[in-house]
Amino acid sequence: MDLQLSGRVAIVTGASKGIGLAVAQTLAEEGAHVVAVSRTPTGELPGKAVHVPADLMDPQAPARVVARAVEEFGGVDVLVNNAGGPPPGVTLPRFGFMTPDDGDWQAMFEFNLFAVVRMIRAAVPVMVERGGGSIVNVSSTSARQPAAMNVDYGAAKSALNHVGKAVSEEFGAQGVRVNTISPGPVLTDWWTKDGGAADVIGGMAGAAKQDVIDQVAPGMMNLVTGRLVRPQEIADAVALLASPRSGSTTGADFVIDGGFLKEL
C-alpha cells in the first residue's frame, strides 16, 4: 500500500528510542522528511532524518522545533507527539495516590500534557497554511483504566485525550486531523533498562527481569496476546493515521494493547 507520505514533512518527538525511533524509521522508509526530536541523538535514526535536540519541558522548545522544520523543509504536514512517560529522572511504576507530591504531579503534566499542547499550538498554524495535516498523539491505556498505580501519569494522559478530541473538532474543517493512539505495555527501555519497570516489579514479585517481561507482566495485566506490544506495531498504526489514506479518520482513539482493556 502506498501511504502517500513521500515528500511530506513529519515531526516526531521522543524519537531517539522505543516507539519514537520506530515511528521515525517507518515514516522515513515511506519517503517522509523526518524531523526527529529528542534531548540526545542516536546513531539509529534514519540517515536522512534531521535531528533537533530539544528538552520539551522547556516552554520555548516546541516553537523552535517547528521553526526548524519550516527552515529545513518548508513546513509541517505530520506531527507525532510521542514524547511522554516518566519525566526525566523519574522511574515508574509508582504505587499509591499518596506517593507523588505536588512537584511530581507538575512534572508529569508538564511532560505529558503541556509539552504536547505547545507542540500542537506551534504546528497547527503551519499546517493550516499548507492546507491541512495530521497530528497523532501517543497516549496510553492508563488514560482509560484508572488504578492505584501511576495515578498522575494516567490523569495527564486522560487530559491529553481530551485535548486531541477538542483540537480535531476545531480545526477539522481546515484540514487538520487529530487522532490518538493508546498503547498498552510496550517493550521499550521503560521496561528493560536497569532500574526500570521490570526491575521494580521483579523486586516486588521476586522474579528476574526477563521473567517479568515474558510472563509476570503479561499475566498481571491479563494480556490476551500473552506478550508486551512491540514498538513497530505502534509505528505502523502511526504511519497509517499520518497518511492521506486515513483522510476521514479524525478524533479517533486507536487502542493497541495486547487485549489489556476489556470494556466495550
Which pLDDT tens digit goes with each residue over 90-103? 888 899 999 999 99
Average pLDDT over residues 170-194: 95
pLDDT-based confidence at residue 52 (cuts at 50, 70, 90)? very high
Written as nine digits, the cell of 192 is 528493560
Say whether pLDDT at 156 is over 90: yes
Total residue length of the chain: 264
Judged by average pLDDT, the poorest of 40-49, 80-89, 210-219 is 40-49
Q: What is the predicted pLDDT for the residue at 89?
A: 87
Average pLDDT over residues 105-123: 98
Average pLDDT over residues 236-257: 98
Alpha-carbon distances, residue 258 vs 41, 60, 196 (angstroms):
30, 37, 21
Domains along the sequence of the chain with CATH: 9-186+230-256 (3.40.50.720), 188-228 (no CATH)
Query: Does the reported pTM lie above 0.75?
Result: yes
What's the one-letter identity of residue 83?
Answer: A
Q: Which letter does DSSP use for residue 142 in this model?
A: G
By the 8 A CB rule, do 124 and 176 touch?
Answer: yes
List active site positions. 153
For residues 108 and 87, give the distance between their C-alpha atoms in angstroms, rounded to a whole number: 6
Query: How are beta strands 133-138 and 176-183 bridged, if at all?
Result: parallel
By the 8 A CB rule, do 254 and 179 touch?
Answer: yes
